[in-house]
Amino acid sequence: MITVEGLEKSFGRQAVLRGIDLEMPTGSITVIIGRSGGGKSVFLKHLLGLVRPDAGRVLVDGVEITGLRGAALDAIRRRYGVVFQGGALFDSMTCLENVAFPLREKFRLPRPEVGKRVEAALAQVGLEGMGGKYPAEISGGMRKRVAIARALVIEPEIVFFDEPTTGLDPILVNTIHRLIQDLHRRFRFTAVMVSHEIPEIFEIADRVAMLHEGRIVEVGPPMAIQQSETRVVRQFIRGEPDTAEVS
Amino acid sequence: MTDTAVPLALRPLETLGRRTADVVTSLGRFGTFLAVAVAALVTPPFKLWAFLSRIVFIGYRSLLIIILTGAFTGMVLGLQIFLTLSRFGSEAFLGPAVALSLIRELGPVLAALMVTGRAGSALTAELGIMRITEQIDALTVMALNPMRYLVAPSVLAGVVAFPLMTAIFDVVGIFGGYLVGVELLGLSQGTYFGEMQTFVDMTDVMLGFWKSVSFGVIVTWVCTYKGFNVGHGAEGVARATTQAVVLSSVLILVWDYFFGSVWR
């Protein structure tokens, strides 16, 4: 279980997170939705230990990570898999080397074992035989799938997805969502996903939290969020234009 | 404290104080960055492959530009020094004059400036792009230290590659001077090299060597720091690359003066 309590963060005079409280249960898929610039990625970076909060704390299975550094924080991160927005694949490595990298460097597995697991991971995301290509030589959808394979090859307990379908066409969005759902059923990891994909996201989420102006304004099962009476949630889900911005 | 809380008369003082604090903080970060890189360098696991690939990146790929600039620097020196010495009838000292100029001063400085322009800028741009595309964050969340993988091998490669590039620059430059002085202007080969052996000693070679080692640290330190702490987007990478090249070049010249003043 990941628990966030009273998380606050400001950059200069701009308050990005204004006291977030949220629980992300073990083995479930929690999706954070919200408008662009609402602080979703900053929130995710706090969960990854990449940004330190001004106030509040993040607990992973009861261990507070906000004060951790060095080896102690790395011990928590060894349980993580992360799919970044743009994939964050290493340009200088082939797809196969990218997927093999955490196995070689983090777990120092023997070469045959690494090869076996990399092939299996690429097969799981439907990219058999594509390992020899460089990230620049494949499409955006393939890059996302390689990034998912790299995140899952180490069999993490917790997987973070930062807008894994941004910039993809609707067919690829559903393909990636189905892939995440399949892999989640198979490995039962705890998933935290930041996404804009409405309404597709409701099909794979166990819980949805709406982040608005630095606060969680609503959290609950997908059905409850879809039927929410809260104005900003309704407006976001229906994609209603902001009249203040239009005028 | 808000701006309005500070009386108008004290605002300039407050601004000065804030700027000073910013500069001191930046210098502290800059120093800590090198300390962390050195710590990653001397503790296992050692990244031998990353180090070798950086040697290729910084050294091997700079060879052509080093040979080209070394040759023409030596030729210019050969010509100008010969013309100057001939006014005093001292052409015989062309060899040592060219060699000492190159070994003590021009070799380390020009080689460092050339490598900064070619490899330093590329180093900053590469790390900057890795930063904005979250590749550095990806390493961090894999519980792998990006300083160990990206910065420490570059600094060590700079320490190894810069003296080698300088040595090549010096040798090619001396032969450039030979080409002009001996082959074109008619000085005897024996005089050119013979006088060189008389006047150039190990102290001169070691001065050039240590200068190039320190330049290797300065350039890789500045360029990796700038790349690692890049701003946003393509503009941020462009700005960081420019700053890295300008700052490295200025520091090379400033450090060269002080180093040369202390070690004569």
pLDDT tens digits for range B191-236: 999 999 899 999 999 999 999 999 999 999 999 999 999 988 999 9
Q: Would the CA dihedral through B102, B103, B108, B109 be positive or negative?
A: negative
Helix (H, G, I), strand (E, B) or coil at A95: helix
Q: Where are the domains of chain B?
A: 47-262
Task: For this complex, say whether ipTM is above 0.85.
Answer: yes
Residue B80 has pLDDT above 80, yes or no: yes
Give yes or no for residue A120 having a pLDDT over 70. Answer: yes
A residues 50-69 near B, CB within 8 Å? 50
pLDDT confidence tier of residue B4, bands split at 50, 70 and 90: low
Q: Mean pLDDT of all residues in chain A?
A: 91
- Give A-chain residues touching B153 at CB under 8 angstroms: none
- Please indicate if any CB of chain B lies within 8 Å of the CB of A72: no
Among residues A156, A174, A191, which one ends one of the domains? A156
Residue range(s) defining the domain that contains residue A228: 2-79+157-246
The partner residue sitting opposite B141, judged by closest CB among A80, A86, A90, is A80
* DSSP letters spanning chain B: --GGGS-GGGHHHHHHHHHHHHHHHHHHHHHHHHHHHHHHHHSSSP-HHHHHHHHHHHTGGGHHHHHHHHHHHHHHHHHHHHHHHHHHT-GGGHHHHHHHIIIIIIHHHHHHHHHIIIIIHHHHHHHHHHHHTTHHHHHHHTT--HIIIIIHHHHHHHHHHHHHHHHHHHHHHHHHHHIIIIIIT---HHHHHHHHHHH--HHHHHHHHHHHHHHHHHHHHHHHHHHHT--SHHHHHHHHHHHHHHHHHHHHHHHHHHHHHH--
Per-residue pLDDT for B30 more than 60?
A: yes
- Residue B5: pLDDT over 80: no
Q: Is the pLDDT of residue A246 over 80?
A: no
Residues A75 and A102 placed together within one structural domain of the fold: no
- In this prediction, residue A243 has a pLDDT band, given cuts at 50, 70 and 90, of low
Residue A106 C-alpha, separation from nearest chain B C-alpha, in angstroms: 7
Q: Residue A9 is inside which H or E element, if any? A: strand A2-11
| Residue A175 in this model has a pLDDT that exceeds 90 | no
Q: State the average pLDDT over residues B163-176.
A: 98
Radius of gyration of chain A (CA): 18
Does the beta-carbon distance from B143 to A78 stay under 8 Å? yes
Interchain contact B142–A (C-beta under 8 A): yes
- Interface mutation target, options B52, B54, B134, B228, chain A, most CBs of A under 10 Å: B134
What is the 8-class DSSP label of residue B49? H
Split into its structural domains, chain A has a count of: 2
Please tell me the pTM assigned to this model: 0.89
Same domain, A229 and A162: yes
User: The domain spanning residue A17 has which CATH number?
Assistant: 3.40.50.300
pLDDT, residue A125, reads: 86
Q: Tell me the two tokens of residue B169.
A: 């620059």
The predicted model gives B31-42 an average pLDDT of 95
With a cut of 60, say whether residue A247 has pLDDT above it: no
Is A95 in the same domain as A144? yes
Residue A27: is its pLDDT beyond 90? yes
pLDDT of residue A127: 87
Rounded Cα–Cα distance for residues B264 and B253 (Å): 16
The answer as to whether A189 is a domain residue is yes
C-alpha A94, offset from chain centre: 23
At A174 the pLDDT is 87
Residues of B in contact with A85 (CB under 8 A): 134
CB contacts, 8 Å: B144 with chain A: 102, 105-106
Report the residue of chain B nearest A12, measured CA to CA.
B2
Q: Is residue A85 part of a domain?
A: no
pLDDT one-digit tens code per residue, A151-165 = 999 989 999 999 988
Type of residue numbered A57? R
Per-residue model confidence (pLDDT) at position B258:
94
In this complex, is the C-beta atom of B5 within 8 Å of any C-beta atom belonging to chain A? Answer: no
Residue count of chain A, please give it: 247
**Mean pLDDT (whole number) for B102-116:** 97
Asked whether residue A167 is domain-assigned, the answer is yes
- Please tell me whether residues A236 and A162 are part of one structural domain: yes
Residues A161 and A241 in one domain: yes
Q: What percent of chain B has pLDDT over 70?
A: 98
Greatest alpha-carbon pair distance for chain A in Å reads 62
The pLDDT of residue A24 is above 70? yes
**Same domain, residue pair A126 and A164:** no
The CA-based dihedral angle spanning residues B54, B145, B122, B175, taken in that order and rounded to the nearest 10 degrees: -30
> What SS3 class is residue B12?
helix
Q: What is the pLDDT averaged over residues A128-153?
A: 91
Which of A98, A126, A156 delimits the end of a domain? A156
Question: Which pLDDT value is given to residue B1?
Answer: 45
Return the pLDDT at A245.
53
- Regarding whether A98 and A63 lie in a shared domain, the answer is no
* Under 8 Å between Cβ of B199 and B97: no
Q: How many CB pairs under 8 A join A and B?
A: 43
Task: Name residue B15's amino acid.
Answer: T
Interchain CB contact of A85 with B (< 8 Å): yes
Q: What is the mean pLDDT of residues A199-208?
A: 92
Strand, coil or helix: A205:
coil
Which residues does A67 contact at the CB level (< 8 Å), separation at least 6?
A57
- Phi and psi dihedrals of A15, rounded to 5? -80, 115
pLDDT of residue B2: 47
Judged against a pLDDT cut of 60, whether residue A122 lies above it is answered with yes
At B29, which amino acid appears?
Answer: R
Rg of chain B over Cα atoms, rounded to whole angstroms, equals 23
Residue of B nearest to A153 (CA): B142
Query: Looking at CA atoms only, how far is residue A50 from chain B in angstroms?
Result: 8
Of A49, A86, A105, the CB nearest to B134: A86
Do B135 and A90 lie within an 8 Å CB cutoff?
yes
User: φ, ψ for residue B50 (rounded to 5)?
Assistant: -65, -40
Query: Cα B11 from chain centroid?
Result: 40
- B50 to chain A, any CB pair closer than 8 A? The answer is no
A90 and chain B in contact, CB less than 8 A? yes
Whether A94 and A39 map to the same domain: the answer is no
Angle at B239 between CA B234 and CA B245, to 5 degrees: 125
**Min CA distance, A84 vs chain B (Å)?**
7
Contact status of A236 with chain B (Cβ, < 8 Å):
no
Residues A69 and A96 in one domain: no
- Select from B133, B143, B144 the Cβ nearest to the Cβ of A88: B133
Q: Looking at the structure, do residues A13 and A112 belong to the same domain, yes or no?
A: no
Nearest-angstrom CA–CA distance, B189 and A85: 65
Average pLDDT for residues A138-147, to the nearest whole number? Answer: 90
Terminal Cα-to-Cα distance of chain A (whole angstroms): 43
What mean pLDDT, rounded, does chain B reach? 94
Residue range B3-28: mean pLDDT, rounded = 88
Among chain A residues, CA nearest to B139? A102
What number is the average pLDDT over the span A70-92? 93
Contacts of B31 (CB under 8 A, 6+ apart): none
Domain end (from A156, A181, A199):
A156
Alpha carbons within 13 A on the beta-carbon side of B26: 10
Cα gap A185→A202, rounded to integer Å = 16
Q: Which of A42, A84, A194 to mutate to test the interface with B (most CBs of B within 10 A)?
A: A84
Same-domain status, A139 and A118: yes
pLDDT for the residue A199: 87
